[in-house]
Structure 1
Amino acid sequence: MQVGYKLRRAPQPRPLVRHLMRSILQLLQSTQRPMRDTEIVSTLAARLHRSDPEFQRQVLLNLHDAVSYGILKRQLNVYSLRSKQLSAIMDSLAPNSSGRTQR
């Protein structure tokens, strides 16, 4: 019988969904107040005309990832903007800034 330890690796960071993250940041910036996760999901669903469960899951994943990347701050499922360099983050999430040069 072999006894050993299971090594746990840190999860690989997921790439952010640029359009969705940009929409979340614009929403939080335009309201100028912290918002609950359910409020963010419902507002974005209405704006983007999406109400399917996959969309809701993607928004919640992006909120969680934004907290782990240090873009948003979370306290009791209330999310707020953290970064003072919001314009630089928004520019990096722009659709045409994929890191490749267009010809």
Structure 2
Amino acid sequence: MQMGYKLRRVPQQRRLVRHLMRIILELLQSTQRPMRDTEIISTLAARLRRSDPEFQRQVALNLEDAVSYGILKRQLNVYSLRSKQLSLIVENLAPSSGRSQR
């Protein structure tokens, strides 16, 4: 029996949910302080009047994706803005009227 290493494949990066990511970035920018993941989820749930588990899961996934894309920084489930070019990122995430979004 041959023993070897089990290789882990790197998962493909998911596409960001642009509207939700823009709202998360605006929240962090307006508070001007790092926030815990639970605080971000509860604040957005209250603002958007969504408290279902799917919404909470989607926000958590977007936070993870923002870290993997280098938009946010995470330390012990506390998220903060990483980029000094935040206005450029928010502008690119803003919905455009001519294109359809996913």
TM-score of the superposed pair, with normalisation by structure 1 = 0.88
State the identity as a percent: 84
Regions of 4+ moved over 3 Å: 1-7
* Residue of structure 2 equivalent to 1:29: 29
Instruction: Please give the per-residue CA displacement for 1:44-99, whole angstroms capped at 9, x wherever unaligned.
Output: 0000010000000000000011011110011111100000000110011011188x
CA distance in 1, matches of 2:73, 2:5: 35
CA distance in 1, matches of 2:70, 2:3: 39
Aligned residues: 99
Give ranges in structure 2 of 5+ residues lacking alignment: none
* Residue of structure 1 equivalent to 2:48: 48
Give ranges in structure 1 of 5+ residues lacking alignment: none
CA distance in 2, matches of 1:14, 1:64: 10
Q: How does 1:1-103 map to 2 (within 5 A)?
A: 6-96=6-96
Instruction: Please give the per-residue CA displacement for 1:14-56, whole angstroms capped at 9, x wherever unaligned.
Output: 0000000000000000000000000000000000010000000
Root-mean-square deviation (CA, aligned residues, Å) is 1.8
